[in-house]
Structure 1
Amino acid sequence: MALTLPAHPDPVHDEILGSGLLQDLSYAFGAPFHFLRPERFDANLAAFRAALTEAGVEGRVYFAKKANKAAAFIERCAATGTGVDVASHGELREALGHGVRGEDLVVTGPAKAGQLLRVAALQGALIAVDSPDELERILRLDSPRPVRILLRRHPPAQPNSRFGLDDAHLDAALLRCADAGDRIRMEGFSFHLSGYAVQPRADLAGELVDLCVKARNLGLPADRISIGGGFAVDYAGAGDWQAFLAAQGPADYHAGKTFAAGDFYPYHSPVAGADALRAVLAARPHGVGGPLAARLREAGVTLLLEPGRALLDGAGSSVFRVQGVKDRQGVKDRAGYGIVTVDGTSLSLSEQWFNSEYLPDPVLLTAGRADDGLPGRAAGDGDAQPYRACVGGASCLDSDLLTWRKIAFPVRPLAGDLLVYPNTAGYQMDSNESPFHDLPLPAKVVLQQEDGRLRWRLDHRPAC
């Protein structure tokens, strides 16, 4: 029996798939494309803000721009006064070009380029300082205003991380900031942890609150901390996820490819999105004293967070067109499987490039067709057999597979059918895309319900 991992039901997504619009868009653009749903971004943002309000915590949400390059989401940030987390001069320029104010930007990443530091300082952005060297370069900037900074803490629980300042560097940096006068405005501390565990985030956040108190004793403002991202997305149900992990093995994948359970993103998370933030705020740092929310209130510390994937949950999907189908073990061998080749590459499903697999089941959209005698072919035929197939890209690389798993499609796909990978907006749809083989980059199409009808427009970026 073929492995399956159905995504959570989404009636609006199903309505889009059944509308016929995706076939029209595929005809118009030819190449693969992504469709975006900004209303889901708005809903996710509102949920994070509600979690802060419920906890009585002063807080600020910054959208981690690296999670998706689309202009539509930055436009929503500008319209709602939401902050944006950028890590390059290009990302900063894009955010400013769409109306996000400089003071609403936080600049992260290691060893930032001089141009990025200069423009960030001029625009009044908040800069997370990753090293003593970076602090010295900031102090040498010719800025007309104090440069706003956070000091990024190296996570003691993840000693192999290459990011952040350890204890000795933090102590030296605090003294350097105190001596810098009005060249620097040291507003607090930040960290980013790998993984999605709640308690380690609460533990380190509690330590950063204590660091704020220490910094204030040196005369520094230090009134905010950033706990970064790491809020999981719940893609699938608990039972489906556990059954998948228990059953999957080399026979389920093309070429007998192997994946350990730890290679996969946790496609089910019992605490995800804004609920994960609620859990962090309710946790007691290191199991001592009151919850983190109370610690923040008592110390007068504002909580900053930088979710990316979690703000994009349900906010977009990726559409590929079938170019051809190859039967792996002969047309009449129903125990075999096929290779479906689509008109794009695995560069548009970024999980494939991290020795992993994007696991939520793709949906096959077929047109009406008559049975031609091939197994599993007849659409609408109650006796049609499922057709197991992996999904390959259009490049000349053997490793270019969008899905190594042998999916049980309800019928044998045909050239011209569409495959829709659900919920790909967060980190999947454009992190690694390139015009390999001179294939065009997939278009991004913004879908919105207006006056009872589904409307679309191309996503656009400013010419600056």
Structure 2
Amino acid sequence: MPDNPLAPAWLRVPEDANALADGLWSRNARRADSGELEVAGVPVSRLAEEFGTPLFVLDEADLRERARGAVLAFEREFARIGSGAKVYYAGKAFLCTEVARWVTAAGLGIDVASGGELAVALAAGVDPGRLGMHGNNKAPWEIDRAVRVGLGTIVIDSLQEIGTVADAASRFGRRQAVRLRVNSGVHASTHEYLATAREDQKFGVPLSDVEDAVARIRSHESLDFLGLHSHIGSQIFDTDGFVEAAARLLAVHARLLEGGPVPELNLGGGFGIAYTSVDDPTPVEEIARRMADIVRAECDRLGIPVPVVAVEPGRSIVGPSTLTLYTVGTIKDVEVTLPTVPVPEEGASRRATANGVVDGTLSVNPATDGDEASEFTVVRKYVSVDGGMSDNARPALYGADYTVRIAGRTSAAEPALVRIAGKHCESGDIVVHADYLPGDVRTGDLAALPATGAYCWSLSSNYNYLVRPAVVAVRDGEARAIVRGETEDDLLARDLGVDRGATGGTREQDGE
């Protein structure tokens, strides 16, 4: 079967539209003999019945294994070169109290980027000394709270912030450990909005200002300078950017050693994961090995000791551990007219089927003259689900691609090119731009998107007054909610104009 011309160049018609591609799904996701998708032994139909859809389904054992694997990989590789490593979980990817407990139990610290994220980590009982705080515009009260509770490190993001943190530390009688975020100018191979170390950026201080900034930090008795911090972007598949960032930072690091100790170097995170079958991320073990070799080689060249290196994975730990479960609603076959192409053999159908072919031949309209057709029509199948950009904003924000599978059953129907649409009042509310599902996909089917653990729930919203989904952890055949799903009563509770004595009914009151 030829590819549908509406499909992107990287997407191929699958031999089996039911198959779960390796590397996209959590380690404990598989098809049961019945064809139904199970996660850690829990059937998705049971999850949908108990918790509703949309639903984030988190494979707890998978997340714990990835967290521990990251710690072991970096500790092993940096011990090999005579140094040490610190691994922080990037809470911005997804944070709740249970996840905070799991990652710290695995040996990670946690990076937080707001007072709210700090509150979640503290509510989980995490030792404040294992926390670090980021942010390009930390409020004074956020800095005060971080210092007061004894936060392990604060990442200073601007010259202005030096005095604010120093003043807070003095008032609370503490000597606050700090890192300095540097805009290294390294261009990571990622989306424009995901690159965080280009020259024209809101994050960090430029390399040319680093030595002056560190001198200011060292002038305050209430501050303890640990080292430089760099973050070059997100969803990075290779280590080339880290090579260049390490070289640039270690050159400055070497000069800073002349004025005092610089025990650490933080190279950030941004390690990519697979969202589609063509994504080929570097395994964490390989990332750790290459980073260690990079740092050792550069330190040897500069003639300086190897510092303790810190990293901040988030997406690579939680992303693959989670899938989003939806219920299929409206399905539409939408005709799309494409530009001129060669005319097929005489007698070919003028209208394409749902998978874009008829008897193996693309359908076209008749040619007006010559050997070329003026246009041809192909059908794209729009499959709408009961969520959308309110629970996964990444496709709209970044043009991110995802994979989809029917979750409640398997089918022998021919693959059809589909676009998974949300239910919001936006034409850009697309969850999966293009993938193949069995052509008999129908209303009421359960659909699952893998690799939705990072930057989906954490970017979720109440657009169109949709409620945010629950997050359910599954392990050893059991499921439990770790973040309660919102209700319409939750939405109305914040509306101060609501007359509590009169209501037209909510979804819960209507018995749904």
User: In the alignment, is residue 279 of structure 1 matched against residue 301 of structure 2?
Assistant: no
Q: CA deviation at 1:119?
A: 1.1
Q: Is the 8 A contact 1:178 1:218 kept in 2?
A: no
Distance in 1, Cα, partners of 2:185 & 2:266? 16
Q: Is the 8 A contact 2:148 2:172 kept in 1?
A: yes
Q: TM-score, normalising length from structure 1? A: 0.79
For residues 233 and 58 of structure 1, do their structure 2 counterparts lie closer, same or farther at Cα, with a shift above 3 Å needed? same
User: In the alignment, is residue 310 of structure 1 matched against residue 310 of structure 2?
Assistant: no
Report the equivalent of 2:385.
342
For residues 332 and 15 of structure 1, do their structure 2 counterparts lie closer, same or farther at Cα, with a shift above 3 Å needed? closer
Report the equivalent of 1:132.
159
Report the equivalent of 1:419.
447
For residues 77 and 45 of structure 1, do their structure 2 counterparts lie closer, same or farther at Cα, with a shift above 3 Å needed? closer
User: In the alignment, is residue 146 of structure 1 matched against residue 187 of structure 2?
Assistant: no
Q: CA deviation at 1:308?
A: 0.9
Q: CA deviation at 1:321?
A: 0.4
Q: Is the 8 A contact 2:28 2:59 kept in 1?
A: no
Q: CA deviation at 1:302?
A: 1.0
Q: CA deviation at 1:206?
A: 4.2
For residues 357 and 154 of structure 1, do their structure 2 counterparts lie closer, same or farther at Cα, with a shift above 3 Å needed? closer
For 2:185, which of 141, 156, 177 is the aligned residue? 156
Q: Is the 8 A contact 2:53 2:325 kept in 1?
A: no
For residues 167 and 391 of structure 1, do their structure 2 counterparts lie closer, same or farther at Cα, with a shift above 3 Å needed? closer
Report the equivalent of 1:356.
399
Q: SS at the partner of 2:240? A: helix
336-345 or 438-447, which deviates more: 336-345
Q: CA deviation at 1:66?
A: 0.6
Instruction: Mark the runs of 5 or more structure 1 residues left unpaired by the alignment.
Output: 242-266, 368-378
For residues 408 and 137 of structure 1, do their structure 2 counterparts lie closer, same or farther at Cα, with a shift above 3 Å needed? same
Q: Is the 8 A contact 2:95 2:120 kept in 1?
A: no
For residues 188 and 105 of structure 1, do their structure 2 counterparts lie closer, same or farther at Cα, with a shift above 3 Å needed? same
For 1:58, which of 63, 71, 84 is the aligned residue? 84
For 1:458, which of 455, 478, 481 is the aligned residue? 481
For residues 399 and 54 of structure 1, do their structure 2 counterparts lie closer, same or farther at Cα, with a shift above 3 Å needed? closer
For 2:272, which of 228, 232, 239 is the aligned residue? 232
- Deviation string 1:68-107 (CA, Å, 9 cap, x unpaired) is 1343321212323420011100001101110211111111
Distance in 2, Cα, partners of 1:170 & 1:447? 46
User: In the alignment, is residue 24 of structure 1 matched against residue 35 of structure 2?
Assistant: no
Q: Give the letter aligned to residue 224 of structure 1.
A: E
Report the equivalent of 2:245.
204
Q: Is the 8 A contact 1:61 1:82 kept in 2?
A: yes
300-309 or 6-15, which deviates more: 6-15
Q: Give the letter aligned to residue 165 of structure 2.
A: I
Report the equivalent of 1:403.
432
Q: CA deviation at 1:37?
A: 1.5
- Deviation string 1:403-449 (CA, Å, 9 cap, x unpaired) is 232x321132222111100121122x213311222222111000011
88-97 or 43-52, which deviates more: 43-52
For 1:190, which of 201, 215, 229 is the aligned residue? 229
Q: Is the 8 A contact 1:212 1:223 kept in 2?
A: no
Q: Is the 8 A contact 1:280 1:292 kept in 2?
A: no
Distance in 1, Cα, partners of 2:335 & 2:206? 57
Q: CA deviation at 1:26?
A: 1.3
Q: SS at the partner of 1:106? A: strand
Report the equivalent of 2:494.
none
Distance in 1, Cα, partners of 2:306 & 2:136? 29
For residues 29 and 442 of structure 1, do their structure 2 counterparts lie closer, same or farther at Cα, with a shift above 3 Å needed? same
Q: SS at the partner of 2:120? A: helix
Q: Is the 8 A contact 1:191 1:227 kept in 2?
A: yes
86-95 or 27-36, which deviates more: 27-36
Aligned residues: 405
User: In the alignment, is residue 102 of structure 1 matched against residue 128 of structure 2?
Assistant: yes
Distance in 2, Cα, partners of 1:216 & 1:353? 45
For 1:86, which of 93, 112, 117 is the aligned residue? 112
Report the equivalent of 2:280.
268
Q: TM-score, normalising length from structure 2? A: 0.72
- Deviation string 1:54-78 (CA, Å, 9 cap, x unpaired) is 3413011000011113433212123
Distance in 1, Cα, partners of 2:471 & 2:272? 24
Instruction: Mark the runs of 5 or more structure 2 residues left unpaired by the alignment.
Output: 5-10, 15-19, 187-197, 337-350, 357-378, 485-512
- Deviation string 1:261-316 (CA, Å, 9 cap, x unpaired) is xxxxxx223x2433222212223x6xxxx525868996252111111111224211
Report the equivalent of 1:8.
22
- Deviation string 1:357-382 (CA, Å, 9 cap, x unpaired) is 323x2110345xxxxxxxxxxx75x5
Q: Is the 8 A contact 2:211 2:256 kept in 1?
A: no
RMSD (Å) for aligned C-alpha atoms:
2.8
For residues 203 and 404 of structure 1, do their structure 2 counterparts lie closer, same or farther at Cα, with a shift above 3 Å needed? closer
The structure richer in helix per residue is: 1
